[in-house]
Amino acid sequence: MCRKLSQFENTIRQRKETAIIIPAFNEEANIRGMLEKVKKIMTPSIELLVVDDGSVDSTKEILKKLNISYISMGFNSGYGAALQTGVKYAERNGFEYVVLMDAD
């Protein structure tokens, strides 16, 4: 199969290199403002992922409204488990860099 070099270059440019992983538990008061700030620095090579650690407030609904990628843990597993889930996601999806941020 032959592909034009320009098609190959476009594929490389669109590849996401960095995953920003944000674990969140009951962050309805903070998550919207924090994500809006993070979105301002986003580039095409960055993917933002929130790991919702079983929130019982409206955190998940806010993520849906903001069209943010998230993983829902289903129940509270703790900060470390949420971090591990996010890092495993980044590893499985071939990200070169991982940035860990708190939701608050």
Q: At which residue do the structure tokens 């860099």 appear? A: 97
The answer to pTM > 0.95 is: no
- Tens of pLDDT along the chain (104 residues) come to 444 444 444 444 456 899 999 999 999 999 999 999 999 999 999 999 999 999 999 999 999 999 999 999 999 999 999 999 999 999 999 999 999 999 98
Q: How far apart are CA 72 and CA 60, in angstroms?
A: 8
Annotation: CATH topology of 14-100: Spore Coat Polysaccharide Biosynthesis Protein SpsA; Chain A (3.90.550)
Q: What does each C-alpha distance from 12 to 8, 9, 41, 96 come to in angstroms?
A: 6, 5, 20, 13
Provide the residue count of the chain: 104
SS3 (DSSP) at 52: strand
Contact 85, 57 (CB under 8 A): no
For 71, list phi and psi in degrees, rounded to 5.
-115, 130
* Order of all β-strands in the sheet with 18-24: 70-72, 46-52, 18-24, 97-100
> Residue 8 region, left (φ>0) first, then alpha (ψ -120 to 50), else beta?
alpha
Residue-range domain boundaries for the chain: 14-100
What letter would DSSP give residue 26?
S
